[in-house]
Amino acid sequence: MPTTDRLRDGLAREIGAERILSGPSVERTYESDAYNVDRSQPTVVVLPESTDEVAKVVRWCRREGIPFTARGAGTGLSGGAMPALGGVVISTKKLNRILEIDLPNRRMRAQAGVTNIALSKAVAAHGLHFAPDPSSQTVATLGGNIAENSGGPHTLKYGVTAPHILGLTLIDAEGEILELERGFGPDWIGMVVGSEGTLGVVTEAWVRLTPVPEHVETALACFGTVREASECVSAIISRGVLPAALEMMDRNILMALRAAFGLEFPDATQAMLLVECDGPREACRQEIEAVEQAFRDFGAITQQRARDAAERAKLWTARKKGVGAMGRLAPSVVTHDGVIPRSKLPEMLDAVYEIAARYQIGVANLFHAGDGNLHPCFYFDDRDPRQVEAVVAAGTEVIQKCIELGGSVTGEHGIGVEKLDLMGLMFSPGDLAYQARLKEIFGTNELCNPCKVLPNQRGCQEHRLRWRGVAT
Amino acid sequence: MARGGDVRFWGLDFPEPLPEREAEISAADLVATFSAGWTLGEVQSMLRSEGLLIPHGGLCLEHPASQWPVRAADLTLEQAIGFDFPHALGHLYGGWTDWVLGLTVEDANSPGSEVKLGSRVVKSVAGYDGQKLFCGALGAFGRIVSVTLRVYPLSVPLHADLRGSGGPPSEDCVLHRVRPADLAALEATVGEHALALDRLGAWAVYPLGQKEDPPLRFAGDQLWRYGQVPELNPAARRLLTQAKVQLDPNDQHQPALWRPA
């Protein structure tokens, strides 16, 4: 790897010295994203302001053989923005402008560094919003959402990020500027969204603006068993209801919330469901009534419906503050991400509790039940090597069970570096070889965010496996 | 048009449907897997019996007045995904690229071997979404063996608003992506000849006037002559060329497609 001075000098000639950062504090800041198990320091960080400047940086890196990794807010949960082989981090911090709002056609063009929430705020007065709503939306960027194909609680009805991207500007691994748009021919945008920044650097995108729903109904129910709650999830969908959100929290999460925020719920509660329906007022009312009937049919102990926005916010408290409350349970918490067909939820949750009990570690569940997207949270004391070992083994078993039930190794956190070694559970060697060819379509790109998504890349270290999941 | 393998559109031959006819439907998961040789009409019929559907408005699907050359219900899933025609409900429910969760495809580079792309669940971000490249590819990357789809409950509101005549009488017409702001103006201009397929203004098909060029007045996203394979923009053409090298290096599938003259 060339020296820091050589990188600084070379890049300064491309975009100016004032937008290049280096030094120990920079190296520490950019050595990982929110998945901080694996770390690798960049040599320099660049802060381009335009598509052309990003293209210049990529071309320079390619000429010099320097790895480069794009980074938004660094909220990724699988190490996607970690510069695995060092080199240059291309920060989108200064690509932060909304470029065009086209209200009649319900679309907006923005640079990659604009935050998710800023997109919605920019058009809120017009009754529109950008539908993907990851929990990090106040800081997560459009570029990061595109890289990870971010989801969120309302994914069930509105989908993940991909269907909300109408066009994008990609600097491919060769440094060429590609303008991709929805239209006839192969869905190139669908291929780029969710590719974790390994096919190039997205600098701008046209996003779809979705009308804010005319009406919203939110209901919450407590159940005496996890099985009743999880069976109720499938029943709601089977009855033809497609809620905007369908979230589940188990007793351990609720106990943490009670300790941290005084959340009230019946003592016999083992699981809680939070369901939100939206749309035209009458259709919305019919849907929430069908949901409440399902609550009753599956033996809900209590249920309540929000009467106004303030009550709705209160009902969402348990879901939104759950992860933060987990700190009450143990010194360390690791959050996993796996997917199963939602009809397998009862069987899967039984397995999660059995695995945790067998390894003698605590587990709490709060997750997107409607999507079958699990987030088991193991809590433990990371000062005890035996507990760490148990958490690693238990986490792997959970993901293996997801695959056994026909699911996926990740629903929204991505592969990054965290789950490279688990891709083989889901895909055969032939499948993975085909995916490597798919990657080559976008250029010979061993330098573009290396060591992510596909296992066994040249020059990449194996995952350190201290533990798997997101440590908080 | 004859069903299944007899499709010849835009001068492209689609091969005979593969013989497998398997189906697996899970209403509780809103997911279904089908052999790619089923027609869309057959699939919709199977789904309907389970209280489900694919919200594909078709290019005349269930429109009794239609005399169009293509009935979406007659296309096999492989063809429907390959053509990825715009349809009446696209603005509300998306299209094949949104519904196809996973594919099993024949590896054109390795005859006899199959490759799995995507997943069989409604949400997955594992690996590259190669299944999306097969949507709209006109079969250029190889055969599709089976398809896993996100499906919807029959209760979803179907807002398709079919208007105008029964459809263009010949291939001398234009298929045009119309933005919401332009739809009313388009209808006013071309009147009964327009078939506005979506109340929010998704697609319109109308005869190509001899002395006027409506596309110049309506700045839609996309336009093509109904009787011709649409052109790709330079970026998409470049990627397509590279994709052929990677996925179909011997150029066995749709070899003449999108080639420079």
User: ipTM, 2 decimals?
Assistant: 0.93
CA atoms within 13 A on the CB side of A470: 26
Residues of A with CB below 8 A from B123's CB? 151, 155, 160, 339, 368, 371-373, 408, 411-412
Task: Report CB contact under 8 Å: A186, B132.
Answer: yes
d(CA A56, CA A217): 49
Instruction: Note whether A448 contacts B: Cβ–Cβ < 8 A.
Output: no
Two tokens, residue B120: 């069989």
Mean pLDDT of A366-378: 94
- Could you give the CA distance from residue A280 to residue A284 in angstroms, rounded to a whole number? 6
Residue B60 DSSP one-character state: S
CB-based burial, B67-80: b 16+ in 10 Å, e otherwise: ebbbbbbbbbbbbb
What average pLDDT does range B17-21 have in this prediction?
93
Chain B residue with CA closest to A434: the answer is: B115
Q: Does B98 touch chain A (CB under 8 A)?
A: yes
The answer to whether A455 and A420 are in contact (CB under 8 A) is: yes
Give yes or no for B246 touching A (CB within 8 A).
yes
Decide if B119 and A431 are in contact by the 8 Å CB cutoff: no
CA B69 → CA B20, B63, B218, B230, B232, distances in Å?
Answer: 27, 13, 25, 17, 23
Residues of B in contact with A368 (CB under 8 A): 123
Task: Determine the topology of domain A213-318 in CATH.
Answer: Alpha-Beta Plaits (3.30.70)
What is residue A242's predicted lDDT score, i.e. its pLDDT? 87
Q: Give bridge partners of residue A46 from the DSSP assignment.
A: A20, A90
What is the model's pLDDT at position B153? 84
Beta carbons within 10 angstroms of residue B170's beta carbon:
10
Spatial distance between the Cα atoms of A374 and A398, rounded to a whole number of angstroms: 10
> Is the pLDDT score of A356 beyond 90?
yes
For residue B137 the two structure tokens come to 């590819």
Mean pLDDT of chain A: 93
Residues 451-470 of chain A with CB under 8 A from chain B are 453-454
Q: Which of B30, B221, B242 sits opposite A441 (nearest CB)?
A: B242
Verify whether the Cβ–Cβ distance A415 to B133 is below 8 Å.
Answer: no
Which residues of chain B have a CB within 8 Å of the CB of A241? 153, 155
In tens, the pLDDT along B81-127 reads: 998 876 656 666 788 999 999 999 999 999 889 999 999 999 999 99
| Per-chain mean pLDDT for chain B | 73
> What does the pLDDT read at residue A50?
98
DSSP strand pairing (A128-129 vs A107-111) = unpaired
Please give the C-alpha separations between residue B172 and each of A145, A393, B110, B204, B209, in angstroms, as whole numbers. Answer: 42, 64, 40, 14, 9
Return the closest-CA partner of residue B38 out of B74, B84, B68: B74
The pLDDT score that the predictor gives to residue A57 is 98
Q: Strands (DSSP E) along B55-196, which ranges? A: 100-106, 114-118, 144-150, 152-153, 173-177, 195-196
A425 CB near a chain B CB, below 8 Å?
Answer: no
Q: Does A24 contact chain B (CB < 8 Å)? A: no
More confident residue, B159 or A285: A285
Cα of B212 to nearest chain A Cα, Å? 24
- Assign A317 a pLDDT band (cuts: 50, 70, 90): confident
Residues of A in contact with B224 (CB under 8 A): 184
Closest alpha carbon to A426 in B98, B118, B33, B150: B118
Please give the pLDDT value at position A164: 94
Flag whether pLDDT at A133 surpasses 80.
yes
Look at residues A392, A436, A48, A23 and name the one whose alpha carbon lies nearest to residue B247.
A436
| The predicted structure's pLDDT at residue A459 | 79
Query: Residue ranges of the domains in chain A?
Result: 1-212, 213-318
B247 vs A contacts (CB less than 8 Å)? 434, 437-438, 441
To probe the interface with B, which of A408, A418, A440, A453 has the most B CB atoms within 10 Å?
Answer: A408
- Give the pLDDT confidence of B186-198 residue by residue, as tens digits: 555 554 444 544 4
- Interface check for B112 against chain A (CB to CB < 8 A): the answer is no
Architecture per CATH, A1-212? 2-Layer Sandwich (3.30)
Q: What is the CATH number of domain B4-153?
A: 3.30.465.10
Answer yes or no: is pLDDT of B212 > 50: no
pLDDT of residue A278: 94
- Domain ranges in chain B are 4-153, 161-248
> Given CB atoms, is B247 within the 8 Å cutoff of chain A?
yes
